[in-house]
Structure 1
């Protein structure tokens, strides 16, 4: 069923709900149709539809490996938590996985070199001092405190040993000499002790293969095999010297002692930093592993129970056990109240926004009620979708990241609000819908963003819908943003499989299609029920083959052309001030349809003024005929089911102004006491909207400008300003929400159209000859 068919169906008398609805509204007490009551009613409906957390009975916890005796569905959203033992094991595991931190000391090499130079200097002084001298004994005693007597004697006999030891120290320190021996087990330690005949008291059992080495603010990961300890490095150096230098045991022992006393490790373990990193890793182990959303299937009947399933069931049981006591019940109640109030806050924000920035909407209870009903419909759909989607679309063990909630049509209100009320109210409604959906999904920020961005895109594209086919243009951009969001979300933490991603894409696109189909069906329903006129209806009414416009063009051709020109003027001015240009143009086409009944009584339908039907008529009679075109137009509009916004323009486009021409004629013909000004005044009301005011001004400007004939742009502009000034002084614009700045912009909006209408033409030569009486062919 297309839109026109739906509208025609609503227009028939058989649609009794419309009559019942209108009768109910007419009999409703005034309080029940106030914005405050509409807000309270909306809050009540939202509170009624809110999914409150309830206490549920416990269940029998199965064992791992058993077949489940029943299908268990999560009765509420809860966190998957580790048991205390599991948490402690994971914390220990996290600590053990942290690499030891070592610092490389770049100063060790120079320090060792300085020690060797100090010994060399002492030896040199010994060689230069007589042994009988007291100073010699002082130097010798000083050296004997650092070296054994055997080593000191060897150096006095063979001073080159010191140089050999110094060279070996520099060669050893080219490697990474650790301050602690790292072994993977006690057995490995015993083997090293036996092999090197060394106690290795400073050791640490470490079963990882790598360590973190920090050098000059740069960290690197190196293998434990790249580390050595001083004792092993010295043993290897002595063994190499024994082979390469063929030194005797006494010399080798002296060199070993020199190296042992002078060399310090250049790679030092940083216990403090290692401890900090281990504590941090331990603290980062989450107690909460994930979340189970309400109505998610945890285990199916006859499915094998795994450790993961047991973990979910235990977590749910913990929550259920807490719900058993009174304190937890009070906590659940407080939680429900908090969630509800948090959901309603955006709605209150929307109400404040409408009151402050949408004054025209505040004056129209029909439209307020439509907005409230649209919001309630969206909340009901979200609530139903959340309850039903897991039942119809369930994942499996092979598809753990399948999200059935993607099929919920979250963009219905955003799209409909953009079509019915414009982009601003659509964005406000989207904010509430997104917040409510995020709360429904267990305060899930992704679903808030998913609904918010999808709704914004739907509103932006929905605000441009003018034809039914435009509805389907909304699917692609909204579907694309949804797919991007789903992809990014599931990429976080690698929570996806290719199959689950594809299926989630299909569900999301299906949700968008459902939103569009709902919007297509509900748009004409809301238009008819709440007297809302959308751009689609206006586009249909702009068709010049519309029966009324067709009749106007035939029976009142001058009025028809006048209406078209007024439409061009009104559209240009509306664009200038940001009003509804389409409404201004279309309403202009219909504003004078009342002239059809007595077309030849209106000057634009007369070829010459001397043949006017008003010749010989009493001014009061002429005024009554002219006044009647407003009433006739309204009756014709109602008969043809034109929207109320068009009907309003018909009765407002003259306001309550006076027909000065006939009034002045009446004063000339009769005494002042016999003439009532009220008989020559339009019934009004004055324009209530910017669009109606623009049409009033365009109507007067077009008629006045045409009476001038050809004129310069400067004179036309002065004429426009004078007409607007007169209307302003006559209080015809007081209720239209136009500002003085808007009036200046309207002047600028009229001028391009007027210049196009009254542009100059070249007088052709043939016409000049005719004027001179020369016959032309």
Structure 2
């Protein structure tokens, strides 16, 4: 009884421990899921804020006049009317001429500083009683120097810099202020330290020796006593220039300035320049700058939020994938910043920018709908930097649509040339149609726009080398790379054909089946073809253990069922190691790990159960590591791989046997839940079945036995021999 109680308690404890452990595992999974969700939300919030901040930072806010115009050239925009009153400013050359003319009457002000003279003369007297007395012949030298210095200071001494400015501005007279009185004096009478020193030496060369005077260091007693009065001088200068009229007329609000196709003459050119200056002035205030900034932030934020909402609702796989989200936002930022830069600094024309490159890249890596939405978003953001955005939006959206539908799958360089030509043609035709609507004179057509379109088409060709860079940065794989990988001269595939020729032939057949099925159900045929060629590369490690490579000898006979199952299962992990070693893209690795999913090695599993009916089976030993297919393409490959391999074991190839085989294998995969988390429909699976049946019937069709040519001489000889006998 005691032992029974202990056993019951022990059982209860074990049950409680199991329940506790199970709940703990659930809690850990929930905690990890929440942590992952928080990280994902933080990443999306950061990339949203960073995108808005970068775009808005580069958008022009300085009131830039967004028109390009040249004198004697036609106006290429629509009707332009004044939205406010503004003056017509004079030509800068004329204003400069008037300024130069009136500046002849300009007299800068200098303040007379008597203390400088007193300081210098006191120093001379002090030095004479000391060190200079021994150098002078008599008191007459001292008196001579003293008298000349007084005369110099009376005329005035200015600094070398001030004298340079007077000569530079061609100032003839200056005003000298002394005791609140201002007197005019010719600037030529003023001294600098250098000219005063030379004057002092040459004042009386008959009675006084210049060599003796040089020894007295007379420059020590010459100090500028006229100080430039900057404030008073600037005031006088401003008042003088204020008498000049800067305008020659006035343009009133609502007044027509110019219309499309009209020639920009001299007067219109000055009016447009005046409008440009006034526009910049009006937008230069702090409050206006804040309003513009707030508007730009709201505009970009709303568009980016709507775009993220679209991805969350209709493209959740891209929305959850950091690489895809980063690619979309990076391209949006790049083209928005380029446009803002060109408009801000008036650098060439925005119609040279290959905006169609954006939908081309996204279409190649992702899909058409996402490409169009991203392109539309980017064009709308770019349009707010332009004065007339409507033509820009119309042209760029049309080019984007042409780009998407002319280049669905890039596999050859010639496709990009064709797409670029069609895009340029679309630009030109649409622009020409709009010009015909607004113009009646064909001579006024803006030919520079067509040159811009041709440059745009040339720049579009750079999308090809950029694809490689985007693949490496964001982890995508383009069709160009897939085509290169599917070349059977690729070192890895060539090695597969040499080491495991049966597997290589099997992979080729699977690639043909899967590619055809992908085309029928709207999948990526090139992707599934390339994935099929590499899905069994792991068999190169032990090729003899796989039926298609055997030639009479089966090494499995010396192994247990468990060991054989493990050898077969390991071709998946071995394949992944080889893929890693040869830097195969992630999408190809996905085909390697999912082409058997979580299924079992049925031959060894069933054989083991048949021979050991009473023994418990370790399911994991016979189960592939998986996961199950998670895309339409990986699901098609799983079906093609199983069907092609099983078709080789059919005793006879009839329409009925092939049909039954395809139905049986694919239905069993559905029953096992292999496609439970895969975006493939029952309709798609039915189509895949039909394709497989058609292709297998073609491969294994019954051949007609050819008749042999009868030799008539031999027949006659045989007949004669029979008759003679």
| Band the TM-score falls in, shorter-chain normalisation | 0.5 to 0.7
Alignment partner of 2:457 out of 477, 491, 512: 512
In 2 relative to 1, CA 505–414 (structure 1 residues): closer, same or farther, beyond 3 Å? Answer: same
Distance of 1:85 and 1:651 partners within structure 2: 73
Alignment of structure 1 residues 21-170 onto 2, 5 Å:
34=40, 37-38=43-44, 40-50=46-56, 52=59, 54=61, 80-81=81-82
The equivalent residue for 1:542 is 486
Alignment of structure 1 residues 295-374 onto 2, 5 Å:
306-316=266-276, 319=279, 322-323=282-283, 329=287, 333-374=290-331
The equivalent residue for 2:649 is 707
Distance of 2:284 and 2:449 partners within structure 1: 37
1:677 Cα deviation from its structure 2 partner: 1.1
The equivalent residue for 2:605 is 663
In 2 relative to 1, CA 291–345 (structure 1 residues): closer, same or farther, beyond 3 Å? Answer: farther
Distance of 2:267 and 2:633 partners within structure 1: 68
Distance of 2:336 and 2:440 partners within structure 1: 29
The equivalent residue for 1:746 is 688
Distance of 2:706 and 2:551 partners within structure 1: 24
Alignment of structure 1 residues 403-552 onto 2, 5 Å:
404-494=349-439, 501-517=446-462, 519-552=463-496
In 2 relative to 1, CA 415–646 (structure 1 residues): closer, same or farther, beyond 3 Å? Answer: same
Distance of 1:714 and 1:721 partners within structure 2: 11
Alignment of structure 1 residues 227-306 onto 2, 5 Å:
287=255, 289=257, 306=266
> For 1:595-643, what per-residue CA distance to the aligned partner results, in whole angstroms no more than 9, with x for missing partners?
11111110111244xx211112111111111011001111111111111
Contact 2:510 2:532 in 1 (8 A): yes
TM-score, length-scaled by structure 1: 0.59
Distance of 2:291 and 2:443 partners within structure 1: 41
- CA RMSD, 1 decimal: 3.4
In 2 relative to 1, CA 540–325 (structure 1 residues): closer, same or farther, beyond 3 Å? Answer: closer
Distance of 2:578 and 2:64 partners within structure 1: 66
The equivalent residue for 2:503 is 559
Distance of 1:516 and 1:355 partners within structure 2: 32
2:341 is paired with a residue of what secondary structure?
Answer: helix
1:708 is paired with a residue of what secondary structure?
Answer: coil
In 2 relative to 1, CA 502–55 (structure 1 residues): closer, same or farther, beyond 3 Å? Answer: closer
Contact 1:407 1:511 in 2 (8 A): yes
In 2 relative to 1, CA 655–56 (structure 1 residues): closer, same or farther, beyond 3 Å? Answer: closer
1:461 Cα deviation from its structure 2 partner: 2.3
Contact 2:519 2:525 in 1 (8 A): yes
The equivalent residue for 1:652 is 594
For these two proteins, the number of residue pairs brought into alignment is: 496
In 2 relative to 1, CA 55–635 (structure 1 residues): closer, same or farther, beyond 3 Å? Answer: closer
In 2 relative to 1, CA 682–419 (structure 1 residues): closer, same or farther, beyond 3 Å? Answer: same
The equivalent residue for 2:535 is 591
TM-score, length-scaled by structure 2: 0.63
In 2 relative to 1, CA 337–491 (structure 1 residues): closer, same or farther, beyond 3 Å? Answer: farther
1:474 Cα deviation from its structure 2 partner: 2.2
Distance of 1:315 and 1:655 partners within structure 2: 70
2:384 is paired with a residue of what secondary structure?
Answer: helix
Contact 1:434 1:449 in 2 (8 A): no
Gaps of 5+ in 1: 1-28, 59-66, 68-76, 87-284, 293-297, 300-304, 394-403, 768-777
In 2 relative to 1, CA 444–287 (structure 1 residues): closer, same or farther, beyond 3 Å? Answer: farther
The equivalent residue for 1:571 is 515
Distance of 1:291 and 1:416 partners within structure 2: 39
Distance of 2:316 and 2:278 partners within structure 1: 52
Distance of 1:687 and 1:368 partners within structure 2: 23
1:52 Cα deviation from its structure 2 partner: 4.7
Contact 1:594 1:632 in 2 (8 A): yes
Contact 2:61 2:293 in 1 (8 A): no
1:34 is paired with a residue of what secondary structure?
Answer: helix
> For 1:459-511, what per-residue CA distance to the aligned partner results, in whole angstroms no more than 9, with x for missing partners?
22232321234322222111111122332344444399859733321222112
The equivalent residue for 1:134 is none
1:514 Cα deviation from its structure 2 partner: 1.6
Distance of 2:618 and 2:535 partners within structure 1: 27
Distance of 2:662 and 2:256 partners within structure 1: 72
2:652 is paired with a residue of what secondary structure?
Answer: coil
1:564 Cα deviation from its structure 2 partner: 1.0
Contact 2:339 2:350 in 1 (8 A): no
Alignment of structure 1 residues 599-610 onto 2, 5 Å:
599-608=543-552
Contact 2:86 2:275 in 1 (8 A): no
Alignment partner of 1:580 out of 519, 524, 529: 524
The equivalent residue for 1:612 is 554
Distance of 2:83 and 2:337 partners within structure 1: 36
Contact 1:78 1:316 in 2 (8 A): no
Contact 1:82 1:311 in 2 (8 A): no
Q: 1:756 aligned to 2:698?
A: yes
Distance of 2:408 and 2:373 partners within structure 1: 14
Distance of 1:482 and 1:568 partners within structure 2: 40
In 2 relative to 1, CA 510–317 (structure 1 residues): closer, same or farther, beyond 3 Å? Answer: closer
> For 1:705-741, what per-residue CA distance to the aligned partner results, in whole angstroms no more than 9, with x for missing partners?
2211433223322321221221112111112111222
In 2 relative to 1, CA 85–664 (structure 1 residues): closer, same or farther, beyond 3 Å? Answer: closer
Q: 1:676 aligned to 2:682?
A: no
> For 1:258-287, what per-residue CA distance to the aligned partner results, in whole angstroms no more than 9, with x for missing partners?
xxxxxxxxxxxxxxxxxxxxxxxxxxx965
1:362 Cα deviation from its structure 2 partner: 3.2
1:352 Cα deviation from its structure 2 partner: 2.7
Q: 1:736 aligned to 2:678?
A: yes
